[in-house]
Amino acid sequence: MKRADFDPTTVEPDGRAPAKATLYDATGTPPWRGHVNGETLGGPVTVLTYGTDVVGQGPRLHVHPYDEAFIVTEGRARFFVGDAVIDAEAGEVVLGPKGVPHRFENLGPGRLQTIDIHHSHRWIQTDLD
């Protein structure tokens, strides 16, 4: 099905040049970890990747002043977002709304790998534990 969600003649390019940055060293050994601030690319989102082979391991409880979307690209994770507990696996996306404390952990078996989209031009975080 062909998409036509808007009229392209109504959008004026803002003059930004295309940009590229390295999120992680793909020649190294996975799991991957890294981040690229949106301001590096001249864009409004920051991209992180998080990976671990250790079951039960994940980022500490933290909060952001903006939304964060988590894309599970490999394995299974348990997300703790406010009072909600959400299990997700490769191919699924979880939203962490702004101002809501969250964390996640590898459910196993095997590797967990995520791509995390921070809806901010830079990574801003307060750890809570």
74 in a structural domain: yes
9 in a structural domain: no
73 in a structural domain: yes
Contacts of 50 (CB under 8 A, 6+ apart): 31, 33, 58, 59, 112, 113, 114, 116
21 in a structural domain: no
39 in a structural domain: yes
pLDDT tens by residue, the chain, 129 residues: 999 999 999 999 999 999 999 999 999 999 999 999 999 999 999 999 999 999 999 999 999 999 999 999 999 999 999 999 999 999 999 999 999 999 999 999 999 999 999 999 999 999 999
Answer left, alpha or beta for residue 41, where phi above 0 means left and psi between -120 and 50 means alpha. alpha
99 in a structural domain: yes
111 in a structural domain: yes
37 in a structural domain: yes
Phi and psi angles of residue 21, each rounded to the nearest 5 degrees, phi first: -150, 160
pTM over 0.85: yes
For the chain, how many structural domains are there in total?
1
Residue 10: HSE in the Cβ half-sphere, 13 Å Cα cutoff: 4
What is the full DSSP assignment across 14-51?
--PPP----SS-TTSPSSP-EEE-HHHHTSS-EEEEEE
State the residue range of the domain holding 119: 28-124
Q: What is the pLDDT of residue 62?
A: 98
Q: CATH code at 37?
A: 2.60.120.10
